[in-house]
Structure 1
Amino acid sequence: MEGSVIDLSRYRYEIAKDDLDTAKVMFKAEKYKAAVNMSYYAIFHALRSVTALDGFDSSKHSGVIAYFNKNYVKNKIFEKDISKKIDKAFRLREKADY
């Protein structure tokens, strides 16, 4: 395997940062649907950055979120409140996209 899980995690973290920067630009430009979308993707790629350290990935957003909640929130590595924020971001992104 080329690279390591740490490299993959860092790569996904950089994507998350770029998505967040894009969300800020979209918000300032009053492109709110795009800002919501990119904000969610920043969260999603941050989650994938964390789960990459376990060698986990999923083609489904719900799979990544469920794995994160089961392995990081339930085990109190992250606070329970973050799970609610992730869920809200997921629902807002769906509403903005569809």
Structure 2
Amino acid sequence: MNEANTRDLSAYRIEKAKELLGQADALLKMASYDGSINRSYYAIFSAIRALLALVRLDSQKHTGVIGFFDRYFVKTGICEKSLSQIVHTAFEARQISDYQDFYRPTAEQAQLQFENAQRLLRTVEETCVLLLEHKIPYPEIVER
């Protein structure tokens, strides 16, 4: 995949994250808190995959994507550790909300996940621009 393709893929994933965040907002307003938590998580997931596209990494597993994000963007200092906490919390919240019987998330829980997703998406979008403009260095990728 050449640089133009990675840029296009990254931009597509950012746009997808924005659409998912819009869905999370709509579901939050409809008091569909489990749906909002799900869409907030997938907005986060798509956003971190946008970063990974720029370094030509991806995984078929959610834990793989999150692991790459932590390894190449958080541990290297490109992204703040608080973003990793947002990602892990969102992953866990979605797992519980989607799969735990008799679980009903609250409005506050869904609102927090939505706000965290907004913050992460803004930061990832800014980071993508900085990487593409060579204002910050790309992480050194050890594996392919």
Partner residue, 2:91: 90
Partner residue, 1:73: 74
Q: Which runs of 5+ in 1 are unaligned?
A: none
Partner residue, 2:50: 49
Identity across the alignment (%): 44
The CA distance in 1 between the partners of 2:12 and 2:86, in whole Å, is 23
Counterpart residue type for residue 4 of structure 1: N
- TM-score of the pair, normalised by structure 2: 0.66
Q: Which runs of 5+ in 2 are unaligned?
A: 100-144
Partner residue, 2:126: none
Q: Does 1:15 align with 2:13?
A: no
Count of residues in correspondence between the two structures: 98
Q: Does 1:61 align with 2:59?
A: no
The CA distance in 2 between the partners of 1:29 and 1:49, in whole Å, is 29
Report SS of the residue matched to 1:4: helix
Q: CA deviation at 1:81?
A: 1.1
The CA distance in 1 between the partners of 2:84 and 2:9, in whole Å, is 23
Q: CA deviation at 1:9?
A: 0.4
Structure 1 runs (4+) greater than 6 angstroms displaced: none
Counterpart residue type for residue 16 of structure 1: A
